[in-house]
Amino acid sequence: MARPTTTDKLLAGAVHGRGATLNPAGRFEKARTELFDDGWQTLGTPLPPLPTRVTDERARSILSYNDSPDLDFDRTINPYRGCEHGCIYCYARPSHGYLGYSAGLDFETQLLAKPDAAALLDAELRKRNYQPALVLVGANTDCYQPVERERGITRQVLQVLVNFRHPFAVITKSALILRDLDLLREAARLGLVRVNITVTTLDLELARTLEPRAATPGRRLQTIAELAGAGVPVGVMVAPVIPGLNDHELEAILQASAKAGAKQARWQFVRLPYEIKDLFGAWLQTHVPGRADRVWALLRDVRQGKANETEFGTRMTGVGIHAQLLQQRFDLAVRRLGLDTPLPPPDASQFRLPPRPGELPF
């Protein structure tokens, strides 16, 4: 049986404080719903603010592994499923379908937390055959989304990683990461950590609808500055780049990030797998209808006529003239701004097994 969702109908416009304008049934569900005018002329009536509900998940493991040649890490930790930031383009949205939820509003309002994450991680790192290597915290959904303020699961995970002297990286859009500056500063002193702050746009109005509950662009730049000032290796991720929407900001984002203290930069082209293409299309028609056709035309040009590309090597950057121009612009800007030097790789040689509570140190 499917889980109860935020709403059992498709919406016809923006919902205050949320990114998606639709809440379609997940692609694994047998039932579908359609808009229907019952004569009361209520179609398109704005819904009241939707609450966020958090359910605890009793996970059996916390490390997820991948073998993608596009990535420089083979393992990740995600303390939460779903993300209240509500970024309409988020490539993690379809994963909510495996839980019986919608990739639309459910992804932003029906969250699952993993309260045992730190204990699970401690146990997995103690396994006899475990080999340490860089782990990315927050690869799928943001590990510093608003619910982290109360739950503190990410902080617990970082504490375990520091205790084990395990190399890790963090990627986030949230200034909440500064709460854990004590742990990050210690990890940086040991050469264990690097951080990337995602900056999608400098346009406050665009950010308000594109990423409704993430930190403002200015706050993200301030976060880069505070991390850099504390000696934490920090870079900027310009992502996603959306043609006809924010691609003209590429150089400005890089320049502002370099000025704030970022030492390295990366970028990614927008990815629209599965349900996301419909959610994104509805968002365009709701928020920027005058640009929707041009955005879609450019997207399909970069994706060889499709909305998405899954091939390794091109799925992150696209193909064709427009993709090549974006890459050239990026390369020129990072060289000019000194953002083309990779951050130091976190050191795996210091890995150790700390004593358990009650044990004597060895």
Q: What is the CATH number of the domain that holds 280?
A: 3.80.30.30
Residue 190 falls inside a structural domain? yes
Residue 41 falls inside a structural domain? no
Minimal CA–CA distance to 270: which of 293, 299, 296, 292? Answer: 299
3-class state of residue 196 by DSSP: strand
Domain count, the chain: 1
pLDDT of residue 362 exceeding 60, the answer is: no
Task: Starting at the earlier edge strand, list the strands of the sheet with 80-81.
Answer: 53-56, 110-113, 80-81
Q: How confident is the model at residue 78 (pLDDT cuts 50, 70, 90)?
A: very high
Q: Using one digit for the tens of pLDDT, what is the confidence trace for 187-225?
A: 999 999 999 999 999 999 999 999 999 999 999 999 999
Residue 5 falls inside a structural domain? no
Report the chain's mean pLDDT, rounded to a whole number.
89
Q: Write the DSSP string, 258-282.
A: HHHT--BEEEEE----TTHHHHHHH
Residue 283 falls inside a structural domain? yes
Residue 146 falls inside a structural domain? yes
Kindly tell me the burial class for residue 362, based on how many C-beta atoms sit within 10 Å of its own C-beta (0-12, 13-18, 19 or more): exposed
Q: Using one digit for the tens of pLDDT, what is the confidence trace for 307-347?
A: 787 777 777 788 889 999 999 999 999 999 999 988 888 99
**pLDDT-wise least confident of 11-25, 278-292, 294-308:** 11-25
Q: Give the domain extent around 333.
A: 53-337
For 281, phi and psi rounded to 5 degrees? -60, -40
Residue 224 falls inside a structural domain? yes
Residue 42 falls inside a structural domain? no
For 22, phi and psi rounded to 5 degrees? -130, 155
Minimal CA–CA distance to 50: which of 95, 5, 87? Answer: 5
Residue 348 CA, chain-centre distance (Å), reads: 25
Residue 310 CA, chain-centre distance (Å), reads: 18
Residue 12 one-letter amino acid: A
Average of per-residue pLDDT across 102-113: 95
